[in-house]
């Protein structure tokens, strides 16, 4: 009676299965044709633009715009950040259009809006355009200084993900990556909800209870003339 050939373990990967590099910036068009949008210096420039965009949105606050720079107009920071945002939005929009031309918009297996990272980049371009529109209206109409529409700028700091995502690479088979995300997805979701709850809770409580610490409790016999603001 002949011995049967031992079946190999299912956990071992066959040699003919290619290992995929799931890097965020490694598009499928890289292996087909090197376009300008896939050049290394272009990607580096776009990451630098993302950092500048993050700094610009940090400057987009009413208190920052109240700072007077000697020898410059009062609205210098507003106009400067508007110009910077416009240039960055133009660069990101050109990249988006180029990728749509290479990959397709909605049709095809590698369409632009079917790729998660491309969808993220496209949404960031939309929020950049909205931010420019709001800031232009605020410059033209000073009464819109504290408009509620300015809350649409909130997602803009997420542009920093574009800078750090180049390091999120997985040298694993596609099936293995999906299996890992499927097993750990529930735990990651629970931790995210827990973290978001406490960040929002303590953030709101901190602003509501403390806010700007410019005035403090004083004695009942003090008068307005005897109390200074920093006391």
Residue that finishes a domain, picked among 156, 172, 188:
172
Q: Of the residues 172, 188, 207, which one is the last residue of a structural domain?
A: 172
Residues 67 and 111 in one domain: yes
Instruction: State whether 145 and 162 are in the same domain.
Output: yes
Do both 111 and 207 map to the same domain? no
162 and 217 assigned to the same domain: no
Give the domain-ending residue among 123, 153, 172.
172
User: Domain check: are 161 and 71 in the same one?
Assistant: yes
> 143 and 45 in one domain?
yes
Rounded to 5°, the CA angle 124-99-158 comes to 20
Tell whether 91 is covered by a domain: yes
pLDDT of residue 211: 53
Is there a single domain that holds both residue 228 and residue 127?
no
Domain span holding position 212? 175-231
pLDDT, one tens digit per residue, over 107-134 is 888 888 988 888 999 999 999 999 999 8
- For residues 137 and 121, the answer to whether their CB atoms sit within 8 Å is no
Same domain, 130 and 26: yes
Residue 1 is assigned to a structural domain of this protein: no
pLDDT of 166 reads: 65
In a domain, 12, yes or no: no
Q: Is residue 187 located within the same domain as residue 217?
A: yes
- Statement to judge: residues 26 and 105 lie in one domain: yes
Claim to verify: residue 168 and residue 183 sit in the same structural domain: no
Q: Is residue 229 part of a domain?
A: yes
- For 78, the token pair is 């507003």
Task: Please check whether residue 57 lies inside any domain of the structure.
Answer: yes
Residues 180 and 228 in one domain: yes
Q: Is residue 94 part of a domain?
A: yes
Q: Which tens digits make up the pLDDT trace of 208-225? A: 555 555 555 666 666 666
* Secondary structure of residue 201 in the 3-state scheme: helix
What's the residue count for the chain?
Answer: 231
Torsion over CA: 48, 49, 51, 56 (sign) = positive
For the chain, list residues with pLDDT below 70.
1-35, 166-172, 203-231
The count of domains in the chain is 2
Question: Does a structural domain hold residue 42?
Answer: yes
Q: Does some domain include residue 8? A: no
Q: Which of 130, 127, 132 is nearest to 156 (CA)?
A: 127
């Amino acid at each position: 009676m002949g011995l049967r050939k031992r079946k190999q373990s299912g956990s071992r990967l066959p040699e003919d299965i290619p290992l995929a590099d799931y890097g965020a910036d490694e598009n499928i068009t890289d292996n087909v044709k090197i376009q300008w949008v896939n050049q290394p210096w272009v990607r580096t420039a776009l990451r630098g633009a993302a950092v500048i965009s993050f700094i610009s949105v940090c400057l987009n606050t009413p208190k920052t715009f109240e700072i007077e720079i000697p020898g410059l107009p009062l609205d210098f920071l507003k106009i400067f950040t508007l110009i910077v945002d416009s240039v960055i939005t133009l660069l990101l929009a050109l990249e988006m259009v180029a990728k749509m031309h290479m990959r397709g918009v909605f049709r095809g297996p590698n369409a632009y809006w079917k790729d998660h990272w491309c969808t993220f980049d496209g949404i960031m371009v939309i929020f950049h355009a909205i931010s420019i529109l709001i800031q232009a209206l605020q410059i033209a109409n000073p009464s819109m200084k504290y408009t509620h529409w300015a809350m649409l700028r909130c997602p803009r700091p997420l542009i920093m993900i574009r800078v750090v995502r180049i390091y999120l690479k997985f040298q694993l088979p596609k099936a293995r990556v999906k299996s890992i995300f499927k097993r750990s997805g529930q735990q990651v979701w629970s931790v995210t909800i827990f973290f978001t709850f406490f960040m929002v809770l303590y953030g709101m409580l901190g602003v509501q209870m403390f806010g700007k610490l410019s005035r403090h409790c004083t004695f009942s016999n003090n008068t307005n003339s005897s109390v200074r603001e920093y006391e």
